[in-house]
Structure 1
Amino acid sequence: MQTLGEFIVKKEHDFPHATGELTALLSAIKLGAKIINRDINKAGLLDILGANGVTNAQGEAQTKLDKFANDALKAALEARTEVAGIASEEGIVIFKGEKAKNAKYIVLMDPLDGSSNIDVNVSVGTIFSIYRRTTAIGLPITEADFLQPGRAQIAAGYIVYGSSTMLVYTTGCGVHAFTYDPSLGEFCLSHEKVRYPTQGHIYSINEGNYIKFPLGIKEYIKYCQQEDEATGRPYSSRYIGSLVADFHRNLLKGGIYMYPGTASYPQGKLRLLYECNPMAFLAEEAGGKATDGTRLILDIDPYPNELRQDLKIDPKKLLHQRSPLFIGSQSMVEKVEQLIAESSKNIF
């Protein structure tokens, strides 16, 4: 049985960024995941369910477990000398002190994706994304360090807390999954070089919002529901309401996850930097695709030159920018892109 630490050391020559520093950083995330996993498994016994009466930077209600997960990961990462700062839906935290000024990495994360599910014992997850800082070593980092395109990621991954707890990550050399063995207290290799199945048969979308979807998305849902023996349709509809859980199932089984813009939320509700980008990195490394309907997610620049030159733009607000997301098996993503493009032509 091969642990996460052993795997990274053994494969270090395959990973362009698998330095000892990155290994230590992943160990901090692993520790945070163990702490979160421990308390999630006792959620009905501890006072960590429900809202805590606080709203986050976007005005959304924060749950007790949101704050707990954020604090656990922040503490684990701040204790390391490799991390200069972190960012999440709770905001940007720039670590202080000389060790932070000399640290090479920053981490963006969604500490508890799908947190509303925890009250009813449904799978939730943690998403993380790792970049090299852009500010010179020896200086404090700035908000701009967190506004890098997805292509600049050197590692990304997620932890899914379900019937078993799994950590899935990539450093740009394939996607690897590790299952937590509580008897050992270790994440052990269970899936090496995970790839999307050639043909997917699952589509994941909140069809309760159907009336608000753009025409191209409605056409794709109809396409999924039509009978066609050659393509194995109709496809199965599966939606958990946690990006991590839905993505994980579709990665292993083959499928597509969709969170389009709607009449109420034209840019969707998922955050580009700490939700869409890390999952897109994983998807592409597993042979899949991730777009906003027209552009590859990883090619979107969250802080283009025109915004850098606009002194009225607060970089802190750009951290939480949203994007539509279509992610999963390549052929399925390309089909929905095709229908979106065709519907746009018909409108004009």
Structure 2
Amino acid sequence: MATLSDAKRLVVKIGSALLVDSETGALREDWLISLAADVARIRKRGTDVILVSSGSIALGRGILGLPRAALPLEQSQAAAAVGQIRLARAYEEALRPHGIIAGQVLVTLEDSHDRRRYLNSRATMETMLSLGVTPIVNENDTVATDEIRYGDNDRLAAQVAVTIGADQLVLLSDVDGLYTANPKLNPAAQHLPLIEKITPEIEGMAGDAGSGLSKGGMITKVMAARMATEGGCAMAITHGSENHPLKRLEEGARATWFAAQIDPQAARKRWIAAMKPKGGIVVDAGAARALGQGKSLLPAGVTGISGTFGRGEVVAITDPTGAQLGQGLTRYTSAEARQIMGQQSADIATILGYEGRAALIHRDDMVL
């Protein structure tokens, strides 16, 4: 069974009910400070940490004095706009004493559906992590409507985990895991500490009762677990309301762990390999050797472009003899690729008139 101490890249989802006092609508500052201490301790052992945090609407409605009942869309978006500033500042203030820089990432469902935006958000978070920044991710509730939103941060957290190649995801919740039935209604319900595989029977055990401040119930958590585990990420659901929730999980607090079904990198490579190429890129012998050594594909090594494709679409990669080496997600359109092929990466801005990525296809977006 996975343990938190094994994580190389960890995503933690924080629900509104944990972050915001349900009676007063105020931020639970002591709890957040304890969470920041947990994050700092985990980072010190070399683990990347990404936080997916609800709370902007819950905080904003308290600041604006709006009722706890369901809000009209316009009021909900206004509350999110006000609350998001407070939420970002709270994380910044909690992490700063530990020497940790926080960075805000606001996303919508379209960012995961559109390949170009998906790659851009992935590259941004990868760069943040490489610079020692802890990303604080939330849905952009100020612009998202019911038709274009995740609807709950459980599934958003799973999407982030898969996007960033995390090997563990922890949902800090107001429940301590999955039971065979709703324990509030059935005293005989048994807690399930480990789920090796999500079956229809497991899905049937999930209720759909959320708290007054949160949108998700257990069914959304099981759906998130399916997405995460199929993408190579183990997931835990644990009670997070007490201080130092991650430390408590490491020390054996009750939780339900869902086992990863595949390695995260292997899952990503399999996804890329299964996609139909929209075009082709021919590389010279030197670039072919570099790719075999695990390097990214730079424009300088490209000798030919075929087909019409957009940024983020899959293209086939062939050597000078026409043999296919593999395929990958391109960071440029076919028109842009034709302009920069054979050129040095340092000259891309001059050729295209705007800054671009150094690599035409990054090694993480390529399968050979």
What's the TM-score, normalizing by structure 1? Answer: 0.32
Q: Rg larger in 1 or in 2? A: 2
